[in-house]
């Protein structure tokens, strides 16, 4: 059976996350049902990461074993046709070796969180950003974020229901980018690691927002990390600002 890798883009709002669940719409189910329209047997797909309800993606990667041999471009077009009108699309497709696995072959995941600081309601980016109505100090947030870089026990920034075997993770990068925004400012948090704990990114961003708002001193981020206690974390920010932007592999399956 030939194996195919897909790069997937989706808006998270209509879905109860990536993973297929009985009675709840999911991105996985949408793609599997689209594949079932063109394959003799509905396949199961595996993804690089299981995004939560409301979380978006521009660079999710998944793979599936299919019954038929397909030209990748034709396969992508056929699946996209059957995904309409859902806000999901395959943006790349490639036939890969049978030992390629979207999750286990991945070397890194990249996320971006978009936060808008302004008083007026967000219109054009509604549903894709987290809005706060107060100003934020980007320099102090960067100081706070610096304490999180490297190999740490991230128990404080881990959901209580997280199923990861260990809370120890290496966070390779947090870049905080400030952009001018109509009537305010957009702040983008770019995070990169081999893997993330459940709710880790949203917990980090929610904590750094408290630093930027002046409610926390930057050193308190280090103290929260050292506490290894979920109660020491700042508030977990909402999901709509979070986007999985890329997955890295030893050899890019799409040849870019």
Active site residue 65: no
Q: Which helix (H) or strand (E) holds 64?
A: strand 56-65
Q: What is the spatial distance between Cα 209 and Cα 190, in angstroms, rounded to a whole number?
A: 14
**E strands along the chain, which residues?**
3-10, 45-47, 56-65, 88-96, 108-117, 130-132, 150-153, 168-181, 184-193, 242-248
- For residue 181, give both structure tokens: 């925004």
State in Å, rounded, how far the first CA of the chain is from the last one: 25
Cβ–Cβ < 8 Å for 205, 236: no
Q: What is the spatial distance between Cα 123 and Cα 133, in angstroms, rounded to a whole number?
A: 14
Q: What is the spatial distance between Cα 190 and Cα 36, in angstroms, rounded to a whole number?
A: 36
Among residues 52, 65, 99, 172, the one annotated as catalytic is 52
Q: Hey, which residues are catalytic here?
A: 52
């Amino acid at each position: 059976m030939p194996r195919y890798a897909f790069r997937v883009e989706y808006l998270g709002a209509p879905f109860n996350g990536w993973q297929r669940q009985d009675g709840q719409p999911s991105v996985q189910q949408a793609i599997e049902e689209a594949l079932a329209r063109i394959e003799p047997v509905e396949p199961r797909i595996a993804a690089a990461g299981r995004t939560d309800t409301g979380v978006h993606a521009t660079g999710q990667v998944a793979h599936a074993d299919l019954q038929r041999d397909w030209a990748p471009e034709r396969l992508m077009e056929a699946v996209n046709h059957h995904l309409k009108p859902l806000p999901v699309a395959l943006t790349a497709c490639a036939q890969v070796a049978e030992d390629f696995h979207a999750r286990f072959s991945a070397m890194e995941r990249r996320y971006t969180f978009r936060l808008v600081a302004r008083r007026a309601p967000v219109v054009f980016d509604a549903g894709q950003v987290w809005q706060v109505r107060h100003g934020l100090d980007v320099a102090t947030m960067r100081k706070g974020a610096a304490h999180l870089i490297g190999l740490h026990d991230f128990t404080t920034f881990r959901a209580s229901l997280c199923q990861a075997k260990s809370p120890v993770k290496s966070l390779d990068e947090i870049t905080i980018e400030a952009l001018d925004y109509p009537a305010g400012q957009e702040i983008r948090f770019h995070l990169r690691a081999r893997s993330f704990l459940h709710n880790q990114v949203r917990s980090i961003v929610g904590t750094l927002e408290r630093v930027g708002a002046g409610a926390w001193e930057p050193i308190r981020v280090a103290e929260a990390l050292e506490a290894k206690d979920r109660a020491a974390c700042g508030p977990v920010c909402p999901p709509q600002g979070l986007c999985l932007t890329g997955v890295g592999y030893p050899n890019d399956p799409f040849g870019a």
